[in-house]
Amino acid sequence: MTETGENDTYRDSDGDQATGGAGSVPPGLAQRPPQSKGAALSLLILCEVLALSLWFSSTAVIPSLKADFGLDDAAASLISSMVSVGFVLGTLISASLGLADRLPPVRFFAASAMVAATANAAIIFVDPTSWAVPALRLVVGLAMAGIYPVGMKLAAGWAKGDMGFLVGTLVGALTLGSALPHLINIAGGLDWRLTLAIASGAAVTAGVLILFVRPGPAVRRAAAFRPQFAFQAWTKRSLRLANLGYFGHMWELYALWSWTGVFLLESFRRTPGMEEPVFWSMALAFATVASGAIGCIAGGVFADRLGRTTLTMLAMGISGTCALASGFVFGMSPWIVAPLFILWGISVVADSAQFSSSVMELSDPWLIGTMVTVQTCLGFLLTVGTIHLVPMMADWVGWQWSFAFLAIGPYLGVVAMGRLRAHPDAVKLAGGRR
């Protein structure tokens, strides 16, 4: 493991190596055409949005698959959750082998996007009710480990006093990418094959465009993954509290993103005089997820000013209340349902970037890579459970109250972050703003 310092190793987009102090321009980059920070980040964000559209592309077409093939809720849950399983496996493999440092990041991103696009497109040619679909979604998740984290690394290479904003913007790109399949689904009507094909094409486009992104001058080797120290994420109290806050956040987030389309469809079908419930459920599902981009960027800006614990507690308090309120607006007019779900979409992800930032600030420098990897993997494993719990709750209490239990996570997260705020280590957060 190499800590950030005078002998950090840099790589340009072709994998050329050079050494230099923090903030210096690697020789491999100096020989290339200059690219401004704004241009590089804009192109990177576009690539993230296009590539990450694959994550929920199959989830967005679940209502169509249920209608056309009688897909049951258990199979639908598996299609959604296998991406998270694949992402965890991919993250562990990448961290253990140091792939983000061994491989040129731009080419690693491009290759991962192509693999994910191929696996996603292959779903079009198999029986949607077969085990081939979850298996292909697992491959998509594996490949995602070479897209989202690598994009974060490329963005960090351009950071100069604005890391909170950059991380928030990249999480916003993840959010828009997650929403994109719902928009594609609207344009494609109920033809689920078209939605998958367009999302796969978007990822291929991302794989090509990323080759034109130049890494920033401060691209550094990631902190090494040291699994033998993984338990420190739980034994060190401040880290444990930050992770518990993150787990509360993840308990809610991906379950909402996975099932909001189905929930809204069931709601609008019960709305008196409601016309075209399928269209409007898809439209509001897109608006719900996409609105999170606003929360991500705002959260990135205000967390550095207000403090990470303040921002996370506020966001989780709002999102947990929205989860409880969802049952009370079930079957009501879209003019009542929409504001609640858009507020939920904004708040549920506004704090997302702050948990990884908190762990990085609370960890020993030589354990940052390990602590972030542990946090990410456990958080995404938790999403597998809640994604499967939603339809089980729907069978038990009906779709009207199927989201209410999601409030447990953010409310417990508020408690954890409140205790972290009172911990002496909290002075390390956001430059002392806790």
Question: Hey, what are 297's tokens?
Answer: 């960027």
Q: Element (H or E) spanning 19, and its range?
A: strand 17-19
Alpha-carbon dihedral sign for residues 52, 55, 61, 65: positive
Q: DSSP string of 119-163? A: HHHHGGGS-TTSTHHHHHHHHHHHHHTTTHHHHHHHHHTT-SS-H
**Beta partners for 17?**
11
Please, where in the chain does CATH 1.20.1250.20 lie? 31-222, 226-434
The pLDDT value recorded for residue 224 is 59
Higher pLDDT, 292 or 15: 292
Rounded to the nearest 10 degrees, what angle do helices 308-325 and 334-350 cross at? Answer: 150
Query: Please, where are the H alpha helices in 33-131?
Result: 37-52, 57-60, 62-69, 73-97, 99-102, 105-122
Residue type for 184, please?
A: I
Angstrom distance (rounded) from CA 187 to CA 91 = 33
Lowest-confidence pick of 15-19, 55-59, 66-70: 15-19
pLDDT the model gives residue 21 = 38
The residue type at 226: R
What's the pLDDT score for residue 218?
A: 60
Task: Tell me the pTM.
Answer: 0.79
Q: Domain 226-434, what architecture?
A: Up-down Bundle (1.20)
Give the span between the Cα atoms of 249 and 247, in whole angstroms: 5
**Is the distance from CB of 226 to CB of 370 less than 8 angstroms?**
yes
User: Which of 360 and 320 is assigned the larger pLDDT?
Assistant: 320
pLDDT digits (tens, 9 = 90+) for 217-239: 765 565 556 666 667 667 778 88
Report pLDDT digits (tens) over 105-149.
889 999 999 999 999 999 999 988 889 999 999 999 999 988 888
Superfamily (CATH) of domain 31-222: MFS general substrate transporter like domains (1.20.1250.20)
Q: CA–CA separation, 68 vs 354, rounded Å? A: 41
* pLDDT band, residue 158 (cuts 50/70/90): confident
Range 413-432 average pLDDT: 82
